[in-house]
Amino acid sequence: MDKSAAEIYRSLPQVSAYLDSEVGRALSDEFGQGVTKLELRRLLEELRQEIKNGRRSSPVDPAELQGTLRTRIIRLCRPEGRAAINATGVVLHTGLGRSPLSRTAREAMQFEGYSIVQLDLETGGRSVREHHIEAMLRELTGCEAATIVNNNAAATFLVLNELGAGREMIISRGQLIEIGGSFRMPVVMEQSGTVLREVGTTNRTHLKDYEAALSERTAAILHVHPSNYAIRGFSSTPSIAELVELGAAHNVPVIADLGSGAIVGLSEFGLKDVTTIAEALRVGALVTCSSGDKLICGPQAGLLCGSKDVIERLRKNPFARMFRVDKCTLAAMEATLAAYVNGTYREEIPLYRMLSHSVEDLETRAQALVDAMKEFPAVAARVETVGTFVGGGSLPDESVPSRALRLALCPTSAQASSTASDSIRRFAQDFSHRLRVSFPSVICRVSDDACYFDLRTVFPEEDHQLLQVLRRVLSAEGFR
């Protein structure tokens, strides 16, 4: 170890000594000694690795250590550590929790003491824990029965295992999807015990391809929403209704994995409609699988709607207990579905409120932020026309018009002409990083050496908070 590295190592405090110091005691009083000690040990280990790998060339400043430690503890155990302003222009942002919950859904999860989860109040016996959810889904979709699991991947696996274990499931090659988190349909089918029977080609699958694959080994035909991609041009695939008609002629059921799922149409918000749960059931799908936290806008969950016989079989499947949801998910989903039953989803559900904002309102809000940025002459601010995407694997190439605040470094503010482009490029990357690690975190989109803040995905009540963060970060960086 060279002398400089040894000096840097010596700048790291001992855990016990730091906790006994005035700063350590203050942090322990504020957050608790346990989490302070935990995060201090993790931070010191990371700093040791930086020194070991030659990524740190100067001793650790006590004030820097204190600030970093306090920030990390807040991220670990305080609600404000998770708070974020989504200015990306992607409404269902997976990294930001997908659909923001409605106020009523958030309030429904604020339990004090015990709650009724799986108890029949009339008899005192055990009940079906999702009976309220089932009642509302029957009302909304026309299904005979419904159940809920912890996500749509679990819902799909459960259906495949119960209805297709040891037998063949027919699926188009164009629907053998892979989505985030290494979810690959062929692997899921294999793990569920189902035998994959793929038909057609990537871009075109015909009804005759399905018919040719039918045999006594066929358990069902599986129709899967393509999720986060779209095939354009010379492409086609049979609809759910066409598959149901074919299946009925051969006594073979159709399973519809709707992906993001939907209870209401999207055309009223300027988007292409997707197949709703009710529509898939209406044309004859035996059972549908869909996410609860995307277009339905509830907590993370998988919703299964279909015939009473199939849903009862799914409830009794050994995997059902592994995939079941807790009281918080049940409460939030019940509150979310109630907004659809009441017909108040446009006002109550954040996703649909965002999609309902007029471009004129977004323009006004963006211009107000541009005007506020005049106190930073080194930064060029303007209103930009952009498109907001739904995201969440719902409509991969569909967007609605929006307005954004665009911030970039003024060319005249670059240090020298030879490094002007580098300075402009670094500004966008560094500024977006500073915003991400702020409180609250501000997540924007970086493109063309500029930061874009799409106002459609920023709640109107967050505009002032966004402005405060922008001012704080720009002031700290000396851009006044």
Query: Between vectors from CA 281 to CA 225 and to CA 293, what angle results, nearest 5°?
Result: 50
pLDDT of 3 strictly over 90 = no
pLDDT of 185 strictly over 80 = yes
Q: Which long-range contacts (CB under 8 A, 24 or more apart) does 58-61 make?
A: 58/8, 59/7, 59/8, 59/10, 59/11, 60/8, 60/11, 60/12
pLDDT in tens, 419-467: 667 888 899 999 999 999 999 999 999 999 999 999 999 999 999 999 9
**Residue 392 contacts residue 94 (beta carbons within 8 Å):** yes
The model's confidence at residue 417, banded by pLDDT at 50, 70 and 90, is very low
pLDDT in tens, 233-258: 787 899 999 999 999 999 999 999 99
pLDDT for the residue 230: 72
Give the integer Cα–Cα distance in Å for 158 and 289.
Answer: 10
185-199 average pLDDT score: 92
Size of the chain in residues: 480
CATH class label, 85-99+352-476: alpha beta
pLDDT for the residue 1: 52
Give the integer Cα–Cα distance in Å for 411 and 420.
Answer: 7
The model's confidence at residue 479, banded by pLDDT at 50, 70 and 90, is confident
24-29 average pLDDT score: 96
In the chain, what are the domain boundaries? 3-80, 85-99+352-476, 103-348
* 90 DSSP β-pair partners: 389
Among 398, 399, 422, smallest CA distance to 409 is for: 422
pLDDT for the residue 419: 60
pLDDT for the residue 320: 95
Strands 441-443 and 84-86: parallel
What is the rounded average pLDDT for all residues in the chain?
A: 92
pLDDT of 179 strictly over 80 = no
Give the integer Cα–Cα distance in Å for 223 and 200.
Answer: 13
pLDDT for the residue 397: 72
Q: What percent of the chain has pLDDT over 90?
A: 76
**Amino acid identity for residue 231 in this structure:** I
pLDDT in tens, 313-328: 999 999 999 999 999 9
**Residue 257 contacts residue 334 (beta carbons within 8 Å):** no
With tokens 């985030």, the residue in question is 180
Say what the pTM is: 0.90
pLDDT in tens, 50-81: 988 888 888 889 999 999 999 999 999 998 89
Give the integer Cα–Cα distance in Å for 318 and 188.
Answer: 17
CA dihedral 64, 66, 69, 70 (to 10 degrees): -120
Give the chain as a 3 state SS string.
Answer: CCHHHHHHHHCCCCHHHHHHCHHHHHHHHHHCHHHHHHHHHHHHHHHHHHHHCCCCCCCCCHHHHHHHHHHHHHHHHCHHHCCEEECCCEEEEHHHCECCCCHHHHHHCCCCCCCCCCECCCCCCECCCCHHHHHHHHHHHCCCEEEEECCHHHHHHHHHHHHHECCEEEEEHHHCCEECCCEEHHHHHHHCCEEEEEECCCCECCHHHHHHHCCCCEEEEEEECCCCCCCCCCCECCCHHHHHHHHHHCCCCEEEECCCCCCCCCHHHCCCCCCCHHHHHHCCCCEEEEECCCCCCCCCCEEEEECHHHHHHHHHCHHHHHHCCCHHHHHHHHHHHHHHHCCCHHHHCHHHHHHHCCHHHHHHHHHHHHHHHHHCCCEEEEEEEEEEEEECCCCCCCEEEEEEEEEEECHHHCCCHHHHHHHHHHHHHHHHHHHHCCCCEEECEEECCEEEEEHHHCCHHHHHHHHHHHHHHHHHCCCC
**Residue 269 contacts residue 255 (beta carbons within 8 Å):** no
Residues 6+ apart with CB under 8 A from 309: none
pLDDT for the residue 96: 92
The model's confidence at residue 181, banded by pLDDT at 50, 70 and 90, is low
**Residue 292 contacts residue 148 (beta carbons within 8 Å):** yes
The yes/no answer on whether domain 103-348 falls in CATH 3.50.50.60 is no
Backbone angles phi, psi at 178, to 5 degrees: -130, 130
Helix axes 308-316, 152-164, angle to 10 degrees: 100
Q: What percent of the chain has pLDDT over 70?
A: 96
